[in-house]
Amino acid sequence: MRILVSGASVAGPVLAYWLTRYGFSVTVVERAPALRKTGGHAVDLYRPAVDISEKMGVLPRVEERATGTNRMTLCREGARRPVRVDLSKIFSATSDRHVEVMRDDLSEIYYDATRDDVEYVFDDSITAISPDGEVRFENAAPRRFDLVVGADGLHSNVRRLVFGDESRFSSFIGAYLGVLTLPNTSGLDGELLMHVGVGRTAGMYGARHLGDARVLFLFRSERELDYHHRDVPRQKELLRGAFDGLHADVDRWLDELDRTPAFYFDSITQLRMDTWSRGRVTLVGDAGYCPGPAVGGSTSLAIVGAYVLAGELARAGCDHERAFPAYERAMAEHVRGSRAVALSAAKTLIPTSRLGVSGLAQGARLISALPAGPSRALLRLTTKSARLYNSMTIDDYPPRPHQWAGSASWATPEAASGAGSG
Ligand SMILES: Cc1cc2nc3c(=O)[nH]c(=O)nc-3n(C[C@H](O)[C@H](O)[C@H](O)COP(=O)(O)OP(=O)(O)OC[C@H]3O[C@@H](n4cnc5c(N)ncnc54)[C@H](O)[C@@H]3O)c2cc1C
């Protein structure tokens, strides 16, 4: 059985790994000309995602590349003294296994674990998928696949082709985010320097192996802002406006906007689809159920989703009509829970009042000052959904390849149409 996956970031390579383990023949098409190595941001692997990475044998590499950010200096707008926070306590109160790693490092690790068994096609994109499995591309010749999976992120191309315009499924949660890469002039290593004001939060972090630093900006906006997604100067202007006067550090970071080699700006939206499978096509990770970038643990959700989808296909003997609904059922509660996590994290991280700003600082100080047990209990009491990812259980799926194994190779539509569908 031949499966085409669109997107080679996190969900795509993890899915490809497990599919090939179960004997499927996998092609991954990625729009970028190569794996992304610059820019990017830190992402969180919570317990189930750490467990899956361990099963894949890549955990030592993931841990080796961990950002090591374990301290936070939190400065409240208008307050004289910063609060020092032990971030490792906060992470361990959220999940008993946690690794923070740069997303680009993570995709490289998953890619390396799959590159020998998976056909990767860079610099291309799907333009059409017909119900009988013929897929057309921008560059490559048409080919036939048994199944197609969109792992192409929040602004998924596969979702648009199969389900329609993104606006039908995205729900704005009243906030924006920006990321910028800049020189690590403060020499931050293992530390997050965060400035928080009413409706706006900016944090800079660095790690020795990065050679530079990243700033994450989060700000609230009641209404959706007016800009084009390709109009970078306008996005920078909006960011400057939102953070004007927060702190001299933040002004210095904003000064780098004109020089930065990597800049990202987007609204924080949740995807809400009743179903993310149609016919022979399904979606995984942010493409299907992004709870909101930077606030909902979406990387862990993407990894769990990829693992479950591959497992359900194997369990159903590659009958997608049974496997896709089983995958959606297995993920439904996790997806709902992660949306709740995202909304509550956004509320905490971007406080709407001065009281909220103080609450964030005091809460973080208290949790970091307490021993692990009480800090976990406190976090559970104050944030219902805080331990969602810790409570996710993942099934074991059949360990050995099955008879539907095929060889991954380029094939003309004529040749490929004879491929067994299991
Ligand atoms: C600024 C920011 C900060 C974040 N912070 C965190 C965090 O702190 N913690 C956390 O857990 N998560 C965080 N996230 C979210 C995290 O990055 C995603 O949840 C995670 O990367 C999801 O992986 P994915 O593989 O589903 O999608 P993505 O990582 O978005 O990957 C999609 C892939 O598809 C490719 N693609 C796009 N269009 C096409 C096409 N037409 N054809 C082929 N390929 C295509 C893209 O190039 C990309 O490689 C953050 C996201 C952003 C944007």
User: Average pLDDT in the 234-262 region?
Assistant: 95
Q: Give the Cα separation of 421 and 410 in Å (integer).
A: 17
Residue 293 CB–ligand 1 contact under 6 Å: yes
Question: How many whole angstroms from 112 Cα to the centroid of ligand 1?
Answer: 18
The finding on whether 10 has its CB within 6 A of some atom of ligand 1 is yes
Does residue 334 have its Cβ closer than 6 Å to ligand 1? Answer: no
- Compute the distance from residue 38 Cα to the ligand 1 centre, in Å: 14
pLDDT tens profile 176-190: 999 999 999 888 889
Given phi > 0 = left and psi -120 to 50 = alpha, else beta, which region is 349?
Answer: alpha
* Whether residue 218 has its Cβ less than 6 Å from ligand 1: no
How high is the mean pLDDT of the chain? 89
pTM reported for the whole predicted model: 0.92
* Mean pLDDT within 42-48: 93
Share of the chain above pLDDT 90, in %: 72
> What does DSSP say about strands 25-30 and 2-6: parallel, antiparallel, or unpaired?
parallel
Dig out the tokens for 116 from the structure: 């020998």
- Closest atom, ligand 1, to C-alpha of 12: 25
How many Cβ atoms sit within 10 Å of the Cβ of residue 303? 30
**pLDDT for res 386:** 61
Would you call 54 helix, strand, or coil by DSSP?
Answer: helix
- The answer to whether the CB of 292 is under 6 A from ligand 1 is no
Distance 368 CA to ligand 1 centre (A): 30
Q: Is the pLDDT of residue 383 over 70?
A: no
What is the whole-number distance in angstroms between the Cα of residue 154 and the centre of ligand 1?
7
At 80-119, the pLDDT tens digits run 899 998 888 888 777 889 999 999 999 999 999 999 999 9
Q: Would the pLDDT of 404 be above 60?
A: no
pLDDT reading at 128 higher than 50: yes
Whether the predicted pLDDT of 27 surpasses 90: yes
pLDDT of the residue at 381 = 56
CA of 140: how far to CAs of 115, 121, 362, 410, 413, in Å? 19, 9, 56, 10, 12
Tokens 């003294």 locate to 81
- Helix, strand or coil, per DSSP, at residue 10: coil
Write out pLDDT tens, residues 220-239. Answer: 999 999 999 999 999 999 99
Q: What average pLDDT does the segment 246-260 reach? A: 95
pLDDT in tens, 314-371: 999 889 999 999 999 999 999 999 999 899 889 889 999 999 999 888 888 887 777 7
Confidence of residue 400 (pLDDT cuts 50, 70, 90): low
Q: Which tokens go with 329?
A: 């059922």
Q: Is the pLDDT of residue 157 over 70?
A: yes
pLDDT of residue 112: 98
Q: Is the CB of 283 inside a 6 Å radius of any atom of ligand 1? A: no
Buried b (16+ CB within 10 A) or exposed e, 208-231: eebebbbbbbbbbeeeeeebeeee
pLDDT above 70 for 399: no
Residue nearest to atom 6 of ligand 1 (CA): 294
Specify the DSSP element, H or E, that contains 5: strand 2-6
Phi/psi at 174 (5° precision): 85, 25
Q: Confirm or reject: Cβ of 146 under 6 Å from ligand 1.
A: no
Question: What residues does 178 pair with on adjacent strands?
Answer: 217, 265
Q: Lowest-pLDDT range, 4-13, 33-42, 288-297, 336-345?
A: 33-42
Contacts of 230 (CB under 8 A, 6+ apart): none
Higher model confidence: residue 308 or residue 415? 308
pLDDT on residue 409? 32
Ligand 1 touching residue 179 (CB < 6 A): yes
pLDDT of residue 153: 96
Confidence of residue 374 (pLDDT cuts 50, 70, 90): low
> Does ligand 1 lie within 6 Å of residue 125's CB atom?
yes
Region 25-37: what's the mean pLDDT? Answer: 94
Asked if residue 387 has pLDDT above 80, the reply is: no
* Residue 242 beta carbon below 6 angstroms from any ligand 1 atom: no
pLDDT at 295 over 60: yes
Using only C-alpha atoms, the chain has a radius of gyration, in whole angstroms, of 22
Q: Using CA atoms, how far apart are residues 32 and 35, in angstroms rounded to an integer?
A: 7
Quick one: average pLDDT of 127-137? 95
